[in-house]
Amino acid sequence: MLHPSAPPTVIDGTPDNTPSATRISQAVGDQGYGAYADVYGTQANDFPVGRVALCVTDLGRGRDLVKAAAKADPGADPTLVDLYVSRYAHRELAKAIDKVFGKKLAFPLYSASATADASGIRLTTSAAGAHSTSFRHTLERAVGGIPVVLEQGEPATSLTD
């Protein structure tokens, strides 16, 4: 079933998220955050246009994930999915992020996400924190060796300020 919040296919005249890629991507995501959370890394719609790049930690289970997505949504086209190997499952990266936000650290952390290819975590911090090699090493130890990318950022602010 296509989610009602599916993105448009054109934004300001630029093609974005073809309906067929969006449909299988949504079905894959449902399975990736469900029964296949142990292998699901990340995915990118229309990469290239009309296709879905799916990163998984195990190609065999990744193929099973795509089959399960097609079974869950028979109108979704599984042939549009290209599989790539990712280093970590999204679930593992989310747990790593939770670990660092629960620690007292030398520099503030403002935001966190998995890297685009699920090869580590990306954290924003102060300028000093972003340039500190020892801070990055401390964070990598805290998350069990998962690579950490530090970027300078700003604290979140309220939209009502």
Other CB atoms within 10 Å distance of the CB of residue 51:
19
At residue 160 the predicted structure's pLDDT band, cuts being 50, 70 and 90, is confident
Contact partners, residue 130, CB within 8 Å, separation at least 6: 124, 150, 151, 152, 153
Q: What is the mean pLDDT of residues 65-84?
A: 97
Give backbone dihedrals phi and psi of 73, rounded to 5 degrees, phi first. -130, 90
C-alpha 35/C-alpha 13 separation (Å) is 37
Question: Residue 107 in contact with residue 100, Cβ under 8 Å?
Answer: no
Q: State how far the Cα of 91 lies from the Cα of 14, in Å rounded to an integer.
A: 33
Residue 4 confidence class, pLDDT cut points 50, 70, 90? very low
Angle at CA of residue 95, ends 89 and 101, nearest 5°: 140
- pLDDT given for residue 15 in this prediction: 56
- Per-residue pLDDT at 12: 57
Closest by CA to 113, choosing from 159, 154, 150, is 150
* Amino acid 100: pLDDT: 94
The pLDDT value recorded for residue 65 is 98
Torsion of CA 22, 37, 99, 160, to 10 degrees: 30
In this structure, of 10-14, 42-46, 105-109, 150-154, the range with the lowest mean pLDDT score is: 10-14
> What does the buried/exposed string (b/e) look like for 64-84 if buried means 16 or more CB atoms within 10 Å of the residue's CB?
bbbebbbebbeebebebbebb
Q: What is the mean pLDDT of residues 26-45?
A: 95
